[in-house]
């Protein structure tokens, strides 16, 4: 399908958006399955440690870099409820990933708090344990619009932490970026509620788009300095097709660090774990830390330990992938746990993705259809 994206003062342009959700790809079940011993590695030696699960393709925001209103309008066809994985199906798949080495699960969307009774899923996943008996690091990414209402219930269900997307403290800029006139004060209330109930340290994610919200970098840093929250600046990425990504709209993370450091001195600190996406910096005065995620200018593919499960049960081995592998077909086709576990192992062992290291020219990218972030989660 094609949708017209209009920019004020500019000539209309057409962004072809390929609907890749229905493309079938049934996983291979190998004759000899790899036993789940918690040490699964891909073709580049990267272990499987992190599973990101999208629980809905719907969102109540229309952020310009993720779900632009020109594409995701009132006529956009979301997945019917019957296509979504049930909570029981999600938990069943997650348990197989945990047996293969996953010790961190992040719930994403769309906006995951729009999924009815999401606390029930959190409780089911919180009951899972790693092969050596440890609890999972169970987290959730949200736009914060419903967080003040949901924070306590999520904590009671067993959620460990939350990450909140917040692209500006300036209310006019924030409303323009979410494109549904949602006030920044309600998101800040959600962050405060999450911190109060113990879903911390809260990570606040700011996608920086040059010319749109880059003037907000220092105000954001000053606001969260000393708050206990960890502010992370994310380079505007070429995820999906609908956002009309351009390299000239990317502000390199190095410039973000330099800009903040000139006002509030910073020093680099070590990552928390191998494969951490954010490069960490802390304030010299003890006011906490910030992070920068530089998937465009400083690719970290070689350390990527993440798999992604779509809301309808397709497994993606890269955020920038075009094709997924239909685990739901196995779940609903009567296959055994051993069969599905073997299929997961086979897919991960064959993984060689390193899109950001090999990022093509903008013209080549426009010719390639990538899955939308709103469908697969960040």
The rounded percent of the chain whose pLDDT value lies above 90 is 70
Q: Which residues pair with 52 in a beta bridge?
A: 106, 308
The per-residue pLDDT for range 22-62, each reduced to its tens digit, is 555 889 999 888 889 888 999 999 999 999 999 999 999 99
Per-residue confidence band for 359, with pLDDT thresholds at 50, 70 and 90: low
Mean of pLDDT values over 109-127: 97
- Nearest-CA neighbor of 158 among 131, 127, 134, 112? 127
Mean of pLDDT values over 155-168: 97
**What was the pLDDT predicted at 6?**
40
Tell me the torsion sign for CA atoms 365, 366, 370, 375: positive
**What was the pLDDT predicted at 176?**
92
**What was the pLDDT predicted at 106?**
98
Q: Among 44-58, 175-189, 230-244, which is the least confidently predicted range?
A: 230-244
Question: Of how many residues is the chain composed?
Answer: 378
Mean of pLDDT values over 219-230: 98
pTM for this one?
A: 0.88
User: Is 16 a residue whose pLDDT tops 50?
Assistant: no
Chain position carrying tokens 């290291």: 357
Within a domain: 279? yes
- As a whole number of angstroms, the distance between CA 7 and CA 106 comes to 34
Burial group, residue 69, by CB count within 10 angstroms (0-12, 13-18, 19+)? middle
Using alpha carbons, list the distances in angstroms from residue 231 to 2, 159, 309, 347. 36, 20, 26, 34
Within a domain: 151? yes
**What was the pLDDT predicted at 239?**
62
Q: What domain count does the chain have?
A: 1
Using alpha carbons, list the distances in angstroms from residue 273 to 28, 202, 280. 32, 18, 11
Mean of pLDDT values over 127-147: 97
Within a domain: 53? yes
Strand 266-269, strand 230-235: pairing: unpaired
**What was the pLDDT predicted at 294?**
87
- As a whole number of angstroms, the distance between CA 376 and CA 108 comes to 8
**What was the pLDDT predicted at 362?**
47
Using alpha carbons, list the distances in angstroms from residue 291 to 150, 187, 276, 358. 26, 20, 10, 24
SS3 238: coil
The per-residue pLDDT for range 80-108, each reduced to its tens digit, is 999 999 999 999 999 999 999 999 999 99
Within a domain: 339? yes
Token digits for 12? Answer: 């209309």
SS3 17: coil
DSSP letters of 122-166?
HHHHHT-B-TTSPBPEEEEEE-STTHHHHHHHHHHHT--EEEEE-
Q: Which residues pair with 146 in a beta bridge?
A: none
Output 377 or 89, whichever has higher pLDDT: 89
Domain that holds residue 175: 39-376
Which residues, in sequence order, are CB contacts of 209 under 8 Å at separation 6+? Answer: 64, 65, 236, 249, 251
Output 305 or 241, whichever has higher pLDDT: 305
User: Is 338 a residue whose pLDDT tops 90?
Assistant: yes
**Mean pLDDT taken over the chain:** 88
Tell me the torsion sign for CA atoms 50, 54, 55, 61: positive
The per-residue pLDDT for range 243-293, each reduced to its tens digit, is 556 888 899 999 999 999 999 999 999 998 877 889 999 999 999 999 999
Within a domain: 281? yes
- As a whole number of angstroms, the distance between CA 375 and CA 55 comes to 9
Using alpha carbons, list the distances in angstroms from residue 59 to 145, 179, 235, 250, 338. 10, 12, 21, 24, 35
Within a domain: 25? no
Within a domain: 199? yes
Q: For 300, how many CA atoms within 13 A lie in the half-sphere containing its CB?
A: 17
DSSP letters of 172-193?
HHHHHHHSS---HHHHHHHHHH
- Nearest-CA neighbor of 221 among 149, 288, 294? 288
Asked if 231 contacts 206 with a C-beta cutoff of 8 angstroms, the reply is yes
Within a domain: 14? no
CATH number for the domain harbouring residue 254:
3.20.20.70
């Amino acid at each position: 399908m094609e949708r017209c994206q209009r920019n004020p003062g500019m000539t209309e342009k057409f962004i072809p958006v390929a609907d890749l959700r229905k493309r079938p790809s049934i996983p291979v079940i190998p004759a000899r399955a790899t036993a789940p011993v918690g040490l699964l590695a891909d073709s580049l030696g990267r272990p499987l440690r992190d599973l990101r699960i999208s629980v809905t393709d719907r969102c109540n925001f229309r952020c310009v870099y993720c779900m632009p209103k020109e594409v995701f309008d009132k006529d956009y066809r979301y997945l019917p409820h019957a296509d979504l994985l049930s909570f029981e199906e999600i938990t069943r798949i997650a348990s197989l990933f945990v047996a293969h080495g996953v010790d961190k699960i992040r719930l994403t969307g769309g906006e995951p708090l729009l999924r009815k009774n999401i606390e029930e899923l959190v409780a089911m996943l919180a009951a899972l344990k790693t092969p050596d008996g440890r609890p999972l690091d169970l987290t959730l990414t949200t736009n914060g619009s419903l967080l003040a209402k949901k924070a306590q219930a999520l904590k009671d269900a067993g959620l460990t932490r939350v990450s909140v997307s917040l692209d500006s403290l300036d209310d006019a800029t924030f409303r323009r970026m979410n494109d549904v006139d949602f006030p920044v004060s309600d998101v800040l209330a959600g962050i405060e509620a999450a911190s109060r109930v113990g879903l911390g340290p809260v990570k606040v994610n700011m996608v920086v788009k040059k010319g749109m919200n880059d003037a907000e970098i220092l105000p954001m840093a000053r606001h969260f300095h000393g708050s206990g929250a960890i502010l992370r600046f994310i380079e505007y990425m070429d995820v999906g097709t609908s956002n009309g990504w351009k390299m000239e709209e990317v502000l390199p993370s190095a410039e973000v660090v330099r800009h903040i450091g000139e006002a509030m001195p910073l020093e680099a600190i070590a990552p928390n774990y191998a494969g951490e996406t954010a490069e960490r910096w802390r304030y010299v005065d003890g006011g906490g830390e910030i992070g920068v995620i530089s998937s465009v200018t400083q690719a970290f593919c070689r350390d990527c330990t993440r798999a992604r499960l779509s809301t309808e049960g397709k497994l993606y081995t890269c955020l920038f992938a075009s094709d997924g592998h239909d685990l739901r077909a196995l779940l609903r086709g009567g296959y055994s746990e051993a069969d599905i576990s073997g299929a997961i192992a086979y897919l991960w062992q064959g993984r060689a993705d390193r899109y950001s290291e090999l990022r093509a020219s903008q013209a080549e990218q426009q010719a390639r259809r990538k899955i939308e972030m709103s469908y697969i989660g960040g």
